[in-house]
């Protein structure tokens, strides 16, 4: 995805959100994020979480912990501590992943209209071992928008990824998701996510997915999602998957 198509995608998502006439939210387990920060003084923890993506026997992913804290009104601080893994022709490899730091700041909220907008910039520090991360600091600079109407929610957006390193290149990424809440315990939804090529000579890809959140006995909940991934210009269909135990307090 080039800069013009990436910017056009984000504008189109914003226009789509504005067309929907309010009370649902998501984010994890979807690839697409939302603008709603963790409530002030509260924690949202995903531990353990497992994510995977790949094609055929070529798989890569992570397992670990994500910590979200509502530091101030409209401000969420996030820390990701992953262990990364991959599987290919040489077998399995494991190692510490890059530590991820990000801050979600909600720029706008209109409760009557059910509309929210937030920035969620983040960086990844080169802390990985066994070649399981980037040797340079990388960053993602996204904007997320959400519109609620009753049990329905539509959210999405995207941003620019700064991806230095030998053979790497910067790229645009973004997506949109629709979810519906069924009672107090279950939320289900679908999404489409687009990522530009992150390596020189690589291919952009589009991922489709279904996901859900099931509220267990408080404060626990179960989150899961998955679906196919399609590379531009053909090639074998890939997959992506996510599973996590959530804890809110």
What does the DSSP assignment read for the chain? Answer: --HHHHHHHHHHHHHHHHT--------TTSSS--SPPPPBT-EEEEEEEEEEEEETTEEEEEEEEEEEEEEETTEEEEEEEEEEEEEETTEEEEEE--EEEEEEEEEEEETTTTEEEEE--EEEES--STT-S-SS-EEEEEEEEEEEETTEEEEEEEEEEE--STTB--EEEEEEEEEEEETTTEEEEEEEEEE---BTT---EEEEEEEEEEE-STTEEEEEEEEEEEETT----EEEEEEEEEEE-
pLDDT at 234: 84
The predicted-structure confidence for 146-162, as pLDDT tens digits, reads as follows 999 999 999 999 999 99
**pLDDT value at residue 1:** 39
Rounded mean pLDDT, 81-94 = 95
C-alpha atoms less than 13 angstroms from C-alpha of 175 in its C-beta half-sphere:
20
Distance CA 144, CA 104 (A): 10
User: Across residues 177-204, what is the average pLDDT?
Assistant: 97
Confidence of residue 11 (pLDDT cuts 50, 70, 90): very low
Q: To the nearest whole number, what is the mean pLDDT of the chain?
A: 91
pLDDT band at 164 (very low <50, low <70, confident <90, very high): very high
Residue 22: band (very low, low, confident or very high) from pLDDT cuts 50, 70, 90: very low
* Residue 67 clears pLDDT 90, i.e. is over it: yes
Is it the case that residue 6 has pLDDT exceeding 80? no
Averaged pLDDT, 77-100:
96
Among 237, 179, 183, residue whose Cα is nearest residue 25: 179
Band the pLDDT of 235: cuts 50, 70, 90: confident
| Percentage with pLDDT > 70 across the chain | 90
pLDDT of residue 4: 37
pTM of the shown model = 0.87
Rounded average pLDDT over 70-75: 98
Q: What is the predicted pLDDT for the residue at 26?
A: 60
Q: Which domains does the chain have, with CATH numbers?
A: 3-248 (2.40.160.40)
- Listed range (9-13, 94-98, 101-105) with the worst mean pLDDT: 9-13
Is residue 2 over pLDDT 80? no
CA 170 to CA 163: how far, in whole Å?
5
Is pLDDT at 10 greater than 50 in this prediction?
A: no
pLDDT at 39: 97
């Amino acid at each position: 995805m080039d800069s013009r198509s990436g910017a056009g995608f984000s504008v189109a998502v914003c226009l789509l959100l504005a067309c929907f006439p309010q009370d649902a939210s998501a984010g994890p387990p979807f690839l697409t994020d939302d603008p709603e920060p963790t409530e002030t003084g509260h924690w949202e923890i995903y531990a353990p979480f497992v994510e995977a993506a790949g094609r055929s026997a070529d798989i890569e992913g992570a397992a670990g912990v994500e910590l979200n804290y509502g530091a101030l009104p409209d401000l969420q601080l996030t820390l990701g501590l992953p262990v990364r893994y991959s599987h290919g022709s040489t077998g399995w490899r494991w190692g510490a992943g890059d530590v991820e730091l990000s801050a979600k700041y909600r720029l706008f909220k209109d409760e009557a209209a059910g509309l929210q907008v937030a920035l969620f910039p983040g960086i990844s520090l080169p802390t990985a071992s066994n070649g399981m991360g980037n040797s340079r600091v990388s960053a993602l600079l996204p904007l997320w928008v959400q519109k609620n109407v009753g049990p329905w929610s539509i959210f999405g957006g995207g941003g620019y990824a700064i991806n230095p390193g030998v053979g790497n290149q910067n790229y645009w990424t973004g997506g949109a998701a629709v979810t519906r809440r069924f009672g107090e315990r279950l939320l289900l939804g679908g999404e489409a996510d687009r990522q530009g090529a992150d390596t020189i000579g690589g291919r952009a890809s589009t991922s489709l997915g279904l996901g859900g959140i099931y509220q267990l006995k408080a404060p626990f909940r179960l989150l899961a999602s998955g679906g196919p991934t399609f590379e531009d210009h053909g090639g074998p269909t890939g997959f992506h998957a996510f599973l996590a135990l959530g804890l809110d307090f």
